[in-house]
């Protein structure tokens, strides 16, 4: 469980906040996952939406809340939690109805959620290119330098792992853009993951069989994002496509993943242009 300690937090005013507060981003996949979870639980929360396109999470104030510069962040009666899957486990224990992480399978579920988390940068690669239409970094060299220099600690010790991955991703994005090779590598990982989900769905309507779980939430977010980017689910994973469409009919799911109108319009235009040019996701990755 990644809960920050007092000395990690430099934006001290949040320590006085009462209730359940969520820093999140509209198109942040981890934020979408957590918002759907909160909807299904019926938990009241106060939202603080961050502008990710403007790198609002790289400001000194936000880094003083989460030194990793990522959303979501849960502030619950002044306690600060910064990892989405840990937050899900915490809330499932505190609000057990409906149970979305069954106690009998919690170790298996957390391991599978870690696998989902390991694909986060691959989702970002495909999302940036085929959903946001972005092939260069939106982070300035000054922002990245400030991020690297920020005196970040988690649990009182210097925090390096996730921060280093963030910096490497954006440095590479600035230097190289999003190459076809990077896109193919990311898509191949998701094809393997959705092949596994296709097999699982042969045994029941949900990831674990008959009961909806947090795994369905997590993979619905990923599947929806890739669907927006033109991933050919109907051809490659028909059970996954039916499962996604079923969950999409539930407003508690659908409203949290819907892109805002300007982005939705941009996606339609870009997909039409890429189809004409033969540069859609399916064209580039070869399936």
List the chain domain ranges: 6-104, 107-135+178-285
Please report the pLDDT score of residue 1 as a whole number.
65
pLDDT band of 128, cuts 50, 70, 90: very high
For residue 122, what pLDDT is reported? 97
Asked whether residue 34 carries a pLDDT value surpassing 90, the answer given is yes
Residues 161-183: tens digit of each pLDDT: 788 889 899 989 999 999 999 99
The token pair that represents 170 in the structure block = 């954006």
In sequence order, which residues have a C-beta less than 8 Å from that of residue 97 and are 6 or more positions away? 41
pTM: 0.97
pLDDT confidence of residue 163: 87
Assign domain 107-135+178-285 to its CATH architecture. Answer: Up-down Bundle (1.20)
Answer whether residue 253 shows pLDDT above 70. Answer: yes
Neighbouring C-beta atoms of residue 212, cutoff 10 Å = 17
The confidence score (pLDDT) of residue 135 equals 86
Strands in the chain per DSSP E: 20-24, 46-49, 73-76, 79-81, 153-154, 157-158
Tokens for 80, please give them: 């600060």
Segment 253-260 mean pLDDT: 98
Handedness of CA 165, 170, 174, 176 (dihedral sign): positive
User: Which band of pLDDT confidence, cut at 50, 70 and 90, is reported for residue 6?
Assistant: very high
The whole-angstrom separation of Cα 277 and Cα 287 is: 17
Mean pLDDT of 41-54: 97
- Relative to beta strand 73-76, strand 20-24 is antiparallel
List pLDDT tens digits, range 145-164: 889 899 999 999 998 878 88
How much is the average pLDDT of 83-103? 96
Q: Which CATH number fits domain 6-104: 3.40.30.10, 3.20.20.10, 3.40.50.300, 3.70.10.10?
A: 3.40.30.10
> Does the pLDDT at position 273 exceed 70?
yes
The mean pLDDT value for 195-205 works out to 97
Q: How much is the pLDDT for 162?
A: 81
CA 55 to CA 70: how far, in whole Å? Answer: 10
């Amino acid at each position: 469980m990644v809960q920050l300690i007092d000395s990690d937090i430099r934006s001290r005013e949040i320590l006085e906040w009462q209730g359940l507060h969520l820093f999140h981003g509209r198109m942040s996949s981890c934020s979408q996952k957590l918002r759907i979870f909160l909807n299904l639980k019926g938990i009241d929360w106060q939202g603080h939406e961050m502008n990710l396109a403007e790198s609002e999470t790289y400001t000194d104030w936000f880094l003083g809340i989460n030194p990793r510069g990522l959303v979501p962040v849960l502030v619950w009666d002044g306690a600060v939690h910064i990892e989405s899957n840990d937050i899900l486990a915490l809330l499932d224990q505190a609000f057990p109805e409906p149970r979305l992480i069954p106690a009998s399978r919690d170790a298996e579920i957390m391991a599978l959620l870690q696998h989902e988390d390991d694909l986060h940068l691959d989702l970002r690669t495909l999302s940036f290119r085929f959903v946001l239409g972005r092939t260069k970094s939106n982070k300035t060299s000054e922002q990245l330098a400030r991020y690297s220099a920020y005196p970040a600690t988690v649990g009182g010790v210097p925090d390096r792992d996730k921060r280093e991955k963030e910096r490497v991703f954006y440095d590479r994005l600035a230097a190289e853009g999003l190459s076809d090779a990077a896109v193919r590598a990311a898509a191949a990982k998701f094809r393997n993951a959705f092949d596994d989900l296709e097999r699982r769905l042969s045994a029941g309507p949900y990831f674990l069989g008959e009961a909806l779980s947090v795994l369905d939430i997590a993979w619905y977010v990923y599947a929806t994002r890739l669907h927006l980017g033109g991933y050919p689910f109907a051809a490659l994973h028909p059970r996954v496509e039916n499962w996604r469409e079923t969950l999409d009919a539930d407003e508690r799911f659908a409203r949290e993943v819907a892109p805002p109108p300007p982005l939705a319009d941009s996606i339609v235009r870009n997909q039409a242009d890429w189809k004409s040019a033969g540069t859609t996701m399916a064209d580039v990755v070869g399936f």
